[in-house]
Amino acid sequence: MNTRYLNVVDVEATCWERANPPDQPNEIIEIGLCVLDTHTLERVSKHSILVRPDRSEVSEFCTALTTLTPEQVATGISFAEACTLLRTEFDADSRPWASWGDYDRKQFERQCAATGVPYPFGSTHTNAKTTFSAARNTTHRFGMAGALKETGLPLEGTHHRGDDDAWNIAALIIDMMKQNVWPA
């Protein structure tokens, strides 16, 4: 396993203010990825992979939340192509990875199961949200923005954009690594 680099992942998915419309499941529309060098504790790259939804549409609510428009995601690649890209360009099947909470991991699992696309990640996933709370000896589950505020780190970029959120989550992970509370 490649342990020098950690893939920090944050996905944005189709969403609605209320219940999903009939026959429109939540689908990934952006995969944000920040590669973190665990030896130097530096964020070495930041990526936004736009993914074209197959069975759902980007709602006005979703655009207001993420800034992603239907026209933007229509130019994206298929979910299958995105998963292949994660494996071939970012070694997702052999690198450890982290996300803020379990939503991202579960969304990949659901969407892979529903579409028959092979799951792109290896088995080493860390839930940065629970790690952050455990390090503070609290059961309170901080949102990413709240965790940044708690640590005094700035929120860089646009909240609810995958690449910016992955970048900010990586900053929180670096902070945990410096405090020796990130799992080895």
Residues 6+ apart with CB under 8 A from 31: 9, 10, 11, 47, 48, 49, 51, 82, 86, 162
Domain ranges of the chain: 5-178
Burial class (CB in 10 A: 0-12, 13-18, 19+), 16: middle
- Which pLDDT tens digit goes with each residue over 118-138? 999 999 999 999 999 999 999
Percent of the chain with pLDDT over 70: 99
- Which pLDDT tens digit goes with each residue over 85-112? 999 999 999 999 999 999 999 999 999 9
Please check whether the domain covering 5-178 is classified as CATH 3.40.50.11310: no
Residue 19 has what DSSP assignment?
A: S
pTM above 0.85, yes or no: yes
